Copies of this chain bind each other. A is one copy, B any other.
Amino acid sequence: MLEPEKQVLLAHGGGGELTRRLLAERVLPKLANELLDPLTDGAVLARPGGRICLTTDAFVVQPLEFPGGDIGRLAVCGTVNDLAVMGAAPKALSLALILEEGLAIATLERIVASIAATAAEAGVVVATGDTKVVERRGGDGMTITTAGIGELPDGLELGTGTIATGDAVLVTGAIAEHGLAVMSARKGLSFRTELRSDVAPLNGLVGAMLAAAAGVRFLRDPTRGGLAGVLADLAEQTRRNVEVEEDAVPLTPVARHTAELLGLDPLTVANEGKVVAVVAPGDAEKVLAACRAHPLGRAAAIIGRVGERSDWPLVELLTRAGGRRVVQRPYGEELPRIC
């Protein structure tokens, strides 16, 4: 028997008095701001000073709470980071919750509080939202979809179009921690306390990188598909080979060990607090220094370079042992429901 004060009921999604009370008592007080509070059909934002960037992500991570974060922090960071790597300053988010009947109200409240805290950390406002309820299932609890808008300064054009042979490939810190932390929590592994998700809002770090030098050509956050996925995209879109030194890729011993235990290649594991950048060779050291001066970029490293044009562009890893191996985009389901 479900209790309406302790658990989410299907009736909480009907759009009536119970919906109004759930939001008014449990959700809105934590997110309060002048855009959201009127509870109109949408939020009105001032006329922006640049072009508009629009992005969205759906989050289905299991478990909802994991070492270093939760689905709420993940949702805010995922959308903020997508805007940041476009070069846009994140301004406002929308928040759509799909709750499963039976979800503990206390869990909902913790996750909404985490959303509010992460939005404040990133300097964005949760401007509008929607809540629905679906029947009880496997006890998944909730999915969150955020969309975000940011302002893109006129003249800033990041992308693969200007990438040239010799450009440096940089990553802002140790890889694979988000995916490994979630997988460890899911499997109940004993070392799970040591490994924490890197989930963090990257707009501050990206701002520092862009301010450091004009030669930043391309930015991407290596989430699903990991570093390997971003490098494969880079090669495919630029029609150039990409060469990466295995030894240069930041990876903590605990992450390396965990990946080995789980049988995963860290290159394909999701990150939620890292950026891959392609930078003109003359500016690479400046951008690296800017990263290292930022709390979220202390372990940044130049990991490789963009090679020649090719009809069959490849990502090659120069291995620790002195060999070469081709890095491929992961095929399918290595890590389902990681974000």
Using a CB–CB cutoff of 8 Å, the interface residues on chain A facing chain B are 9-20, 38, 40-48, 50-60, 82-83, 85-86, 88, 92, 94-98, 127-135, 137-138, 140, 143, 145, 147-150, 152, 154, 159, 220-221, 223-225, 229, 268, 270, 329-337
Q: Which residues from B are CB-within-8-Å of A133?
A: 60, 336
Docked-complex contact A51 and B47, CB < 8 angstroms? yes
Closest residue of B by beta carbon distance from A335: B14
Q: Which residues from B are CB-within-8-Å of A53?
A: 42-45
Q: Which residues from B are CB-within-8-Å of A92?
A: 54
Docked-complex contact A54 and B48, CB < 8 angstroms? no
Known: A55-B94, A58-B96, A98-B98. 9 other contacts (CB 8 A): A9-B333, A10-B333, A11-B336, A14-B225, A18-B332, A43-B54, A54-B149, A58-B132, A59-B132
Q: Which residues from B are CB-within-8-Å of A150?
A: 42
In the complex, the count of this chain's copies comes to 2
Q: How far is the CB of A96 from chain B (nearest CB, A)?
A: 4
Docked-complex contact B11 and A149, CB < 8 angstroms? no
Q: How far is the CB of A317 from chain B (nearest CB, A)?
A: 17
Docked-complex contact A55 and B128, CB < 8 angstroms? yes
Docked-complex contact B336 and A40, CB < 8 angstroms? no
Residue of A19, A154, A336 with most partner-chain B CB within 10 A: A336
The one of B43, B51, B52, B331 in contact with A11, judged by C-beta atoms closer than 8 angstroms, is B331
Give the distance in Å from the alpha carbon of A147 to the alpha carbon of B225 in the complex: 25
The one of B82, B132, B331 in contact with A16, judged by C-beta atoms closer than 8 angstroms, is B331
Closest residue of B by beta carbon distance from A93: B54
Q: Which residues from B are CB-within-8-Å of A220?
A: 41
The one of B14, B44, B94 in contact with A330, judged by C-beta atoms closer than 8 angstroms, is B14
The one of B48, B83, B140 in contact with A47, judged by C-beta atoms closer than 8 angstroms, is B48
Docked-complex contact A130 and B57, CB < 8 angstroms? yes
Give the distance in Å from the alpha carbon of A55 to the alpha carbon of B295 in the complex: 34
Q: How far is the CB of A310 from chain B (nearest CB, A)?
A: 19
The one of B58, B135, B336 in contact with A145, judged by C-beta atoms closer than 8 angstroms, is B58
Q: Which residues from B are CB-within-8-Å of A40?
A: 86, 159
Give the distance in Å from the alpha carbon of A60 to the alpha carbon of B132 in the complex: 7
Closest residue of B by beta carbon distance from A57: B130
Give the distance in Å from the alpha carbon of A55 to the alpha carbon of B128 in the complex: 6
Docked-complex contact A54 and B94, CB < 8 angstroms? yes
Give the distance in Å from the alpha carbon of A225 to the alpha carbon of B41 in the complex: 14
The one of B18, B135, B229, B336 in contact with A13, judged by C-beta atoms closer than 8 angstroms, is B336
Q: Which residues from B are CB-within-8-Å of A130?
A: 56-58, 145
Docked-complex contact A50 and B51, CB < 8 angstroms? no
Q: Which residues from B are CB-within-8-Å of A94?
A: 54-56, 147
**Given A9-B332, A16-B225, A332-B9, residue A51 in contact with residue B58 (CB < 8 A):** no
Docked-complex contact B54 and A128, CB < 8 angstroms? yes
**Given A48-B52, A82-B41, residue A143 in contact with residue B98 (CB < 8 A):** yes
Q: Which residues from B are CB-within-8-Å of A16?
A: 224-225, 229, 268, 329-334
Docked-complex contact B54 and A45, CB < 8 angstroms? yes
